[in-house]
Copies of this chain bind each other. A is one copy, B any other.
């Protein structure tokens, strides 16, 4: 698993800060702010869970307005399943920042991560807003990153930059979590900032497209949190021409965003609790893209496949059985399966290369190729194995 990497995290025209306000009993940093110097175009992708935390509900409404100044984030409490008081608490958090900085109501977004069903001690967050605003700086991204972590073993950041329309564009990303894998510590959060000049529609489309191929293509377990949130703020301070959907500049922007988001998504998988292997499941030759994706997801979500990889067992029968129940069109006699370059199944039958395959997968990174031979659609998902450590962490009592 990767060790902490120290980036010189920054993004032109954005300040950030992270402090301790006392929500976490450990006294570790638990309150972060990311703020644009000027009103930024904003887009978001949120949890599909019908039980949505209060901050998610707030942000979904605010993102629709198209512009925002920034986001305040607390860790240590998810403010989910907290009823009307939870909604009030989320609005108190944004209101405190808006007041402190003289913004109108609705210009600040909010995110929370931590325990579900426990009232958020919002007075601690409110009291923290003064020091938090005072700590804002262009170099404060690492502090903000530290304050959004819960049980993350390492911070997750990405910095991508490239030339678009003659200007250097930067995209900076901060993330925490791994789906809903922690004991009651819900949530995957990711925040991107960029100095690109891009409109609301193009930004939303780029974010949705990239999230589908990154954060929505990683599987740590089969749960979806009440708080999952991905936000991107584009403040336009690079002052180039506007990046419009469908242009080469748009494609270059999507490529940069994919670069940043896929890095964060892979780091999240690698931080999957107890994970010992990073596994890529690439399905090729499905009848349609949804079928390719369903096949890949079903394999990646199988307890049996994940425990087999933990054991270093090239157990292709479990992959075949997962394909069979994935609800896709398939013909067992057309299936090929390859483990790290070693073909273990050809046209549905064992190739006799089990010993070679067992050797090939006893590494940290495992690539599983599945050729369905039914059509031309492909999909790739990333997951981790299922270890003793996963059970230990997730069965530990919350207190």
In the bound assembly, the distance between CA atoms of A312 and B115 in angstroms comes to 17
Complex: A385 Cα to B48 Cα, angstroms: 26
Tell me how many chains of this kind the complex includes. 2
* Interface residues in A, total, Cβ within 8 A: 64
A348 within 8 A of B: yes
- Asked whether A48 and B81 contact (CB < 8 A) given A186-B317, A307-B394, A307-B395, the answer is no
Interface presence of A350 (CB below 8 A): yes
Interface residues of chain A: helix, strand, loop or mixed (majority): loop
Complex contact B223–A303 (CB within 8 A): yes
- Assess whether A223 is in contact with B116, with CB atoms less than 8 Å apart: no
How far, in Å, is A150 (CB) from chain B's closest CB? 14
Q: Which of B117, B186, B312, B321 contacts A223 (CB 8 A)?
A: B321
* Distance in Å: Cβ of A244 to nearest Cβ of chain B: 35
CB of A223 within 8 A of CB of B184, answer no
Asked if A223 contacts B81 (CB within 8 A), the reply is: no
Are A321 and B394 neighbours in the complex by a CB distance under 8 Å? no
Nearest-CB distance from A362 to chain B (Å)?
A: 11
Contacts of A308 in B (CB 8 A): 183, 394-395
Give the distance to chain B from A11, nearest Cβ to Cβ, in Å. Answer: 32
Q: Is the CB of A180 within 8 A of B304?
A: yes
The stretch of A14-22, A200-208, A323-331 in contact with B is A323-331
Bound CA span A81–B332, Å: 8
The answer to whether A321 touches B225 (Cβ under 8 A) is yes
Mark interface residues in A221-252 (1 if CB within 8 Å of B CB, else 0): 11111100000000000000000000000000
* Known contacts A81-B350, A184-B315; is-contact A321 B395 (Cβ 8 Å): no
Task: Give the residues from 129 to 159 in chain A that come closer than 8 angstroms, CB to CB, to chain B.
Answer: none
Indicate whether A391 reaches chain B with its CB closer than 8 angstroms: yes
- Contact (Cβ within 8 A) A302 B223: yes
Report the bound CA distance from A369 to B183 in whole Å: 22
- A350 near B117 with CB under 8 A, answer yes
Contact residue among B49, B301, B312, B388 (Cβ-Cβ distance under 8 Å from A222): B301
Sample of 18 further A-B pairs with CB below 8 A, known A81-B317, A222-B303, A223-B322: A49-B321, A50-B324, A51-B320, A51-B321, A51-B324, A81-B320, A81-B345, A81-B350, A82-B349, A116-B317, A116-B318, A183-B311, A221-B303, A222-B301, A223-B303, A223-B325, A224-B321, A388-B392
> 6 pairs across A/B with beta carbons < 8 Å?
A48-B325, A52-B324, A116-B318, A186-B321, A223-B325, A226-B321
